[in-house]
A and B are shown apart, each in its own frame.
Chain A
Amino acid sequence: MEWEIVMGLEVHTELSTKTKIFCNCSTQFGGEPNTHVCEICSGMPGTLPLLNENVVRYAVRTGVATNCEITQYNKFDRKNYFYPDLPKAYQISQLYLPICRNGYIEVTGGDGSPKRIRIHEIHMEEDAGKLIHDEWEDCTMVDYNRCGVPLLEIVSEPDFRSAAEVIEYLERLSAVLQYIGVSDCKMQEGSLRADVNLSVRPKGSEKFGVRTEMKNMNSFKAIGRAIEYEANRQIELLEDGKEVVQETRRWDDGKGVSVAMRSKEDAQDYKYFPEPDIPPIEISDEYIEQIRNAMPELPEAKKRRYIEELGLPEYDTGIITGSIYLVKLFEKTVEITNNPKDSANWIMGELMKLLNDTQTLPENMSFREESLGELINLVNSGKINRGTGKKVLEKVFCDNVDPAKYVEENNLAQVTDTGAIKAVIEEVIANNEKSVNEYKGGKTQAFQYLIGQSMRALRGKAPAAEVQKILKELLG
C-alpha cells in the first residue's frame, strides 16, 4: 500500500528583545546560572508580571510578515502545570485569543509548484527555566536565566506531506524571523525549536491517522531524520496490523531513534483560565499599519531583486537570501567591492566550503564583515593572486585576521616587478639544464616542469601568465 505522511509543526522561537517578557532581566543566552533573575521571573510571592511592549510589537511584526490576521483585542491566559523549571507553577500564554491567526508561508510542493503551508495561529508566552542534571552529584539543578524569555509559538495546520516541505518551511520561517529582527533562530541555543506532529494514512484517504508528537530535534538534519524514522515506524506498525498510540516521543539523534515520553492518557489538564494580572491589550489599526510600513525587505523580495537587478543566478540567491547573516555579509561585500558577481562567487564557493568543512552555520561566523570585501579587492587589484586569496580567507574565517595586514605581515603580495621575476627565472634555468635541454629537444612537459619550479622559487606570488611569458622569452 502507498502511504501518505501528514505533518503539522509547532515552532517555538525565542524573541530577541533585550529584556524578558514580564520583567527587566536580560534575555542574553549563556551567563552564569541564575544571574539573569529577579523576584518577578523567579515567581516570588506578591510579585506581578508587567508586559514588555516590544514582545507585542515583535509578535505583530511576525504576523504581518507571515500573512496573518492580527487579533486586535488580546488577552493572556494561565497554563497551569507543576514542574521545577516553572517557578510560578503556571506559564503565562495565550489560549483563547492568540495575537495572530490564519497566515501562511509558501514552500515548494511535491509537484514543484508553490504550496501554501497555513499558519493556524501565533501566540505569545514565556519560556521556562532549564534543568541541569548533574550525574556526578546525582542531583538536578535549576537555572532560571531562561525563565520569562519571550517566546512566540507558531502553530501550522497539518499541511506538510514530506520532510523536504517541513525543512523548507523552517528555513523560510527562520529567514523571515531573522530578517524582521525578532529572533536570531539559533537552533543549538534553543532559540528555535520545532515539534513535529506526524501521522500516516493510505494515500487518497481523507481521514487523519493517529498522530504522535516528536520533540528534541536540534537541527534541520535531525528533523529530517526524525521524520523519516517516525513515518517508517508508524507505517510498519500499521502494516503489521498494529495501532499507532497517540503519544509524545523524544528524538535521540545520537541513536537515530525516538522514544515514547508520555501517552495521551498521561496528558496534563492545564486548567487554563484568563490571566488576571495582565489587562487586555488592544492593538489599533494604526499600530498594525505602522509596523506594516516599517517592514524590511523580506527574503522573497530580496531574492527577486538580486536576480533582476544584480543578475545573480537563482540558485546562488536562494542560498544567500536564506540566511540574514549571509545577506548582511553579501551586502557589505558588495558595498566594498562594488562587484555583486564576485561577491556572490566568493560566498558560494570558498566561504561555503569553509562553512561545510568546519560544520559552521552562517549565524556563527565570527569574522569582521568587511574582511571579505577587502580580500576580494586585494585579489581583483592583483595585490595577491586567487590562490593566496583562498588561503587568506581561511585565516580570516578561522582567526578573524585583517586581510591587508595579514598579507603584508606574511609577505604574500604578488611580485609585480618584471626584473625581479626575470632574475628568479634565470636562476631556475641555470639550475635545470637537463629540463631546458629536453624542452629545446621538443618535450613540452619539460616546460610545465620549469613553470612549476619558477612558481615555487617565486613562492607563488607572481602572476602565472607573467611567469609563463618571461620563461618562454628566456628559453627563446
Chain B
Amino acid sequence: MDILEMTATQLGAAVKSGEVTVKQALDAYFEKIDKYDKTYHCYNTLCRDEAYKRAEEVQKGIDSKTLTSPLAGVPIGIKDNICTKDIKTTCSSKILENFVPPYNATVVERLEKAGMIVIGKLNMDEFAMGSTTETSATGATHNPWDIQKVPGGSSGGSAAAVSAGLAVAALGSDTGGSIRQPCSFCGVTGLKPTYGSVSRYGLVAYASSLDQIGPIGNTVEDCANLFEIISGKDEKDGTSMEFPHFSAEKALAGNVKGVKIGIPRDYIGEGIAEDVKKAVLDAAETFKSLGAEVELFDMPIVKYAIPAYYIIACAEACSNLSRYDGIKYGYKSANARNLRETYIKSRSEGFGMEVKRRIMLGNFVLSSGYYDAYYQKALKAKKLIQQSFFEAFEKYDMVLGPVAPTTALKMGESLSDPLKMYLGDIYTVMVNIAGVPSVSAPCGFDREGMPVGMQLIGKPFGETEILNAAKAFEDATDYHTKKPVLK
C-alpha cells in the first residue's frame, strides 16, 4: 500500500512492522507538500530539519520497542496557534510573525512522547478568529475540493491538509466550531473534546473559557488514537480535569444498537441549505438502520447562542490579546518615534481587520455601564444553554445535527459580510458554551460535490460514546473514503 494512501493508524502499524521507515513516511509527505502546498497553502511553516532529526530518534525507539503508541513514527501537522519549541508559532498574525516560543505546548510534549513527528505549522484564521481561514496574514488556504472555495476555519489549514493528503493527521483548536466546521467543509473527521479534557497549556489563547485543542484525521480511529495521546489532566493547566482514562480501543466498537439520538428541530429549521439538511436526515436514517433510536426535539435556546458566544469570546479575546505590544516579542512597527507610538502602530499594523473588530467588540461589552447589559447577560445565556443540553441528555445519549448551515462558501464572500460569517457558527458555538464534546464526520456531498458534515454531540467526557456512534456510521458508509483530486 502506498504510504500516502494509509490512514495515520495504518501508517503507524506499517512503521511498527518495519514495512515503512519513519524517514520514508517523512519523504512521502514532504514530497507531496512540496508539490501541492504552493496551490493550497495549508502550511505556514515546515520544520523539515527538525522532523528528520527527530525521525532518527523515533526510529530507534520503535526498533527497540520503547515507543509502543499506535501512532509512533507518524508525522503530524500542528495548527499554528499551538506553541512548538524553537519553531515559529505565528497564529497566522503579523503581530507574531517572528515569534519562536522557548517551550512546547503540553499536547506537543505528549505527541512527541508518543513518538509522533511534527512536520509543520498549519494555517488558520488570524488568532483563530474567523470561519474561512481568509483572515490569515499569510494568505488564505484553499479548499482541496474546489480551489475557489474556502476550507472553513479557523483550523482551515489543518482540515485542508488532511483532506488533500498533505498531512496524515493534524491538531486543530475549536473555540466556536474551528475544528468541526473546516472538517465538514473539507470532508474529514475531527473531534472537539470536552472542555478540560485536553490541556490548553501552550495554546495561544483566543477565548480561554471556550478554547479546546482536538484531533483531525481521515477516520474516527485516527482521531480516537490521537485523542488518547493528547488527553488527560495536566498540572500546568488549572482548568484541565481529572477524568477516567480514555481508551481508543473502547471507543471504536462501532455499535449504536439501542443508542438514543436526539435531533434539535432548531438545527434543521430556517436558514439551513437543503442539501445539508438532507444529508443529515439521511444520516439519521442510517443510524436508525443500525439500531439507534432517533427522535426530533425542541431546543429553542439556539437563537441566543450566537450573541452569547460572540460576547463571551470577544470579551476574553480583547483581554488575551492586550499583551501584544511590540516590545518583548513579535512585530514592532518601524515607524514609531516613541513608546506610545510603538504600542499604537505595532498593534494597528500587526493585527488584521477581524481581530481588531473582535478586540473592539470585547472592550465594548466589558466597559463599565455595558457590562451588565452584555457580558452578564451572556453568562446567563451560557447557564441556560448548559441547562438545555443537560435536559437533552436526560432523554438522549447524544445529539445529532449539521455542523454548518451550508457547505464551503466561495472565497471572499463572508469577508465582506462578517455577520453572515458569524451566523454560520450557529450549530457549533453552543457546544463550546456548554463545554461538551462533539465529533464532526463526513455524511454526504451537496449537488456541487462539496462535502457535508454532521456532528454528534455528547455528554461531558462522553467522547467514547460519540466516537463509537461516528465509527458505526463510518463503517456503514463510504463518505470518509472519498478524496478530492488535487490540482
A residues whose Cβ falls under 8 Å from a Cβ of B: 39, 42-51, 78, 80, 82, 84, 87-90, 269, 271-273, 276-279
In the assembled complex, the Cα of A48 lies from the Cα of B240 at a distance in Å of 11
Which one, B143-151, B198-206, B250-258, is touching chain A?
B198-206
- Chain B residues within 8 Å of A89, by CB: 319, 322-323, 325
**Contact indicator per residue, chain B 179-209, by CB within 8 Å of chain A (1) or not (0):** 0000000000000000000001111110111
Cβ-based interface call for B375 (8 A):
yes
Indicate which residue in A39, A49, A84 contacts B102 across the interface (CB closer than 8 Å): A39
Indicate which residue in A82, A87, A272 contacts B328 across the interface (CB closer than 8 Å): A87
Cβ-based interface call for B105 (8 A):
yes
Listed A/B pairs (15) with beta-carbon separation below 8 Å: A39-B101, A44-B329, A45-B89, A46-B203, A47-B201, A48-B236, A80-B318, A82-B322, A84-B327, A89-B323, A269-B367, A271-B371, A273-B371, A276-B239, A277-B239
Across the two chains, which residue of chain A brings its CB closest to B82? A46
In the assembled complex, the Cα of A87 lies from the Cα of B204 at a distance in Å of 15
Cβ-based interface call for B429 (8 A):
no
Q: Are B323 and A88 in contact (CB under 8 A)?
A: yes
Cβ-based interface call for B96 (8 A):
yes
Indicate which residue in A90, A269, A273, A276 contacts B322 across the interface (CB closer than 8 Å): A90
Distance (whole angstroms) from the CB of B240 to the closest CB of chain A: 9
Distance (whole angstroms) from the CB of A395 to the closest CB of chain B: 50
Q: Are B204 and A45 in contact (CB under 8 A)?
A: yes
Q: Which of B285-323 contact A (CB under 8 A)?
A: 315-316, 318-319, 322-323
- Chain A residues within 8 Å of B367, by CB: 269, 271
- Chain A residues within 8 Å of B102, by CB: 39, 44
Distance (whole angstroms) from the CB of A117 to the closest CB of chain B: 30
Cβ-based interface call for B449 (8 A):
no
Known: A78-B319, A84-B327, A271-B363. A47 touches B208 (CB 8 A): no
In the assembled complex, the Cα of A39 lies from the Cα of B316 at a distance in Å of 20
Q: Are B83 and A46 in contact (CB under 8 A)?
A: yes
Known: A273-B375, A276-B208, A277-B239. A48 touches B201 (CB 8 A): yes
Q: Are A48 and B238 in contact (CB under 8 A)?
A: yes
- Chain B residues within 8 Å of A51, by CB: 238
Cβ-based interface call for B63 (8 A):
no
- Chain A residues within 8 Å of B315, by CB: 273
Q: Are B236 and A273 in contact (CB under 8 A)?
A: no
In the assembled complex, the Cα of A50 lies from the Cα of B201 at a distance in Å of 10
- Chain A residues within 8 Å of B86, by CB: none
Cβ-based interface call for B57 (8 A):
no
- Chain B residues within 8 Å of A47, by CB: 103, 201-202
- Chain B residues within 8 Å of A44, by CB: 101-103, 329
**Contact indicator per residue, chain B 322-342, by CB within 8 Å of chain A (1) or not (0):** 110101110000000001000
Cβ-based interface call for B416 (8 A):
no
Q: Are B83 and A269 in contact (CB under 8 A)?
A: no
Q: Are A269 and B368 in contact (CB under 8 A)?
A: yes
In the assembled complex, the Cα of A38 lies from the Cα of B180 at a distance in Å of 34
Q: Are B323 and A276 in contact (CB under 8 A)?
A: no
The 3 closest A-B pairs by CB, nearest first: A89-B322, A276-B209, A271-B366
In the assembled complex, the Cα of A278 lies from the Cα of B236 at a distance in Å of 11
Chain B interface residue count, Cβ-Cβ cutoff 8 angstroms: 43
Q: Are A50 and B204 in contact (CB under 8 A)?
A: no
In the assembled complex, the Cα of A273 lies from the Cα of B368 at a distance in Å of 11
Distance (whole angstroms) from the CB of B138 to the closest CB of chain A: 17
Indicate which residue in B238, B327, B328 contacts A279 across the interface (CB closer than 8 Å): B238
- Chain A residues within 8 Å of B101, by CB: 39, 44-46
Distance (whole angstroms) from the CB of A404 to the closest CB of chain B: 52
Indicate which residue in A43, A48, A273 contacts B237 across the interface (CB closer than 8 Å): A48
Distance (whole angstroms) from the CB of B173 to the closest CB of chain A: 11
Indicate which residue in A48, A90, A278 contacts B319 across the interface (CB closer than 8 Å): A90
Distance (whole angstroms) from the CB of B343 to the closest CB of chain A: 8
Distance (whole angstroms) from the CB of B382 to the closest CB of chain A: 11
Distance (whole angstroms) from the CB of B98 to the closest CB of chain A: 13
Q: Are A45 and B375 in contact (CB under 8 A)?
A: no
Q: Are A273 and B319 in contact (CB under 8 A)?
A: yes
Known: A271-B363, A273-B375, A277-B238. A48 touches B200 (CB 8 A): yes
Q: Are A45 and B105 in contact (CB under 8 A)?
A: no
Indicate which residue in B202, B238, B318, B319 contacts A46 across the interface (CB closer than 8 Å): B202
- Chain A residues within 8 Å of B238, by CB: 48-51, 277-279
In the assembled complex, the Cα of A44 lies from the Cα of B96 at a distance in Å of 11
Distance (whole angstroms) from the CB of A58 to the closest CB of chain B: 18
Q: Are A39 and B319 in contact (CB under 8 A)?
A: no
In the assembled complex, the Cα of A422 lies from the Cα of B366 at a distance in Å of 91
- Chain B residues within 8 Å of A78, by CB: 319
In the assembled complex, the Cα of A42 lies from the Cα of B102 at a distance in Å of 12
Q: Are B236 and A50 in contact (CB under 8 A)?
A: yes
Across the two chains, which residue of chain A brings its CB closest to B196? A279
Known: A89-B322, A89-B323, A90-B322. A279 touches B239 (CB 8 A): yes
In the assembled complex, the Cα of A240 lies from the Cα of B97 at a distance in Å of 60
**Contact indicator per residue, chain B 128-157, by CB within 8 Å of chain A (1) or not (0):** 000000000000000000000000000000
- Chain B residues within 8 Å of A276, by CB: 207-209, 239, 316
Distance (whole angstroms) from the CB of B327 to the closest CB of chain A: 7
In the assembled complex, the Cα of A50 lies from the Cα of B82 at a distance in Å of 19
Cβ-based interface call for B235 (8 A):
yes
Across the two chains, which residue of chain A brings its CB closest to B315? A273
Indicate which residue in B208, B235, B318, B375 contacts A277 across the interface (CB closer than 8 Å): B208
- Chain B residues within 8 Å of A80, by CB: 318-319, 322, 366
Indicate which residue in B235, B323, B343 contacts A50 across the interface (CB closer than 8 Å): B235
- Chain B residues within 8 Å of A42, by CB: 328
In the assembled complex, the Cα of A278 lies from the Cα of B201 at a distance in Å of 13
In the assembled complex, the Cα of A124 lies from the Cα of B367 at a distance in Å of 23
- Chain A residues within 8 Å of B201, by CB: 46-48
Q: Are B204 and A46 in contact (CB under 8 A)?
A: yes
**Contact indicator per residue, chain B 341-371, by CB within 8 Å of chain A (1) or not (0):** 0010000000000000000000100111001
Across the two chains, which residue of chain A brings its CB closest to B330? A45
- Chain A residues within 8 Å of B83, by CB: 45-46
In the assembled complex, the Cα of A437 lies from the Cα of B83 at a distance in Å of 99
- Chain A residues within 8 Å of B329, by CB: 44-45
Q: Which of B223-259 contact A (CB under 8 A)?
A: 235-239
Distance (whole angstroms) from the CB of B432 to the closest CB of chain A: 12
Across the two chains, which residue of chain B brings its CB closest to A22? B238
